[in-house]
Every structure is written in C-alpha cells, then in structure tokens.
Amino acid sequence: MAPIYDVVTTTVCKAKDNMALTLNGTTRWPAAKALQRVGETRTQSTPSRIKMLFEQIAEALSDTAEELRKYVTEHPEFKDVGEAMLQEWETGRDLSLKVGNPTPVRRMLSAMAAERAKKRRKLVLTPDQRLDS
C-alpha cells in the first residue's frame, strides 16, 4: 500500500512534487489510459467497471471540493491554499479520470453523497457540545 501522503495535495507547497512510490515504474501522476490499464490488470476488472470506479472517484472529489469551498468561505486565511488545492484536484481529474457528463450512476452517487454529508453535519458536535456531554 502507498503511504497516505500520495493522496495529500503536496504540490500546493512543493510545485514539482511527485508520488512517493512508483506506479508502473514511475512516480509521475498517471494519465487516464495508464491508470485505466493499471486498474484493469491489477484488479482483473472490466473497462466498464474501472470507468464506473473513476466516475465514483470523480464524484467523491466533487463532493470534497464543495466541502473545501465551504471551509475556505468560513476560514478566509485558508483561501490561497484552498484555491490551490482545488486547482490541483481539477488538474488531476482532467489528467487521470477523463470522466464526461454525469451518468445515471454519477447522479445516483451524488445524491447518496449529499445524503451522507447531511447526516455527517448532524453528527458533528461543537467543542462546547462535546464538553457538555
């Protein structure tokens, strides 16, 4: 398994950063076709299954980006870093995922993610609430 810092947006702080471990012999972030082939061979999945997984990842990235935008609004001191992260995520999505218009699966996943986010917001306690319990 790759270290978690392979999924952290380090390029915001270190512009020329690469992945820590190799993927097919390189630490460069993979293009969509290369990532598709890796997914198919390493998981023995069909191209349509890998495409669906890419769509799920893209949808999760969109949901996370929305959460980051909200955070930036509430914490203006994080604006520069947050906007740089959003730009890097968009670049990565364009390079590696190459997903098009929302499919029924993506629309369904988006609705499910919105519902999960709503439930998470209900579960989050403020520091004061935690102290009172």
Location of structure tokens 């909200």: 70
- pLDDT for the residue 22: 79
pLDDT tens for residues 53-95? 888 888 888 889 999 999 999 999 999 889 988 888 888 888 8
Give the residue with greater pLDDT, 111 vs 56.
56
Give the residue with greater pLDDT, 58 vs 10.
58
Location of structure tokens 């069909």: 46
**Domains of the chain, residue spans:** 53-132
Write the single-letter amino acid at 90.
Answer: E
pTM over 0.85: no
Q: How many residues does the chain have?
A: 133
Kindly give, in sequence order, each residue whose CB lies less than 8 Å from that of residue 82, ignoring residues fewer than 6 positions away.
68, 69, 71, 72
pLDDT confidence band for 128 (50 / 70 / 90): low
- Count of H helices and E strands in the chain? 5, 0
- 120, 65, 69: which is closest to 93 by C-alpha? 65
- 54, 85, 61, 58: which is closest to 72 by C-alpha? 85
Mean pLDDT of all residues belonging to the chain: 76
Distance from chain centroid for Cα 100: 16
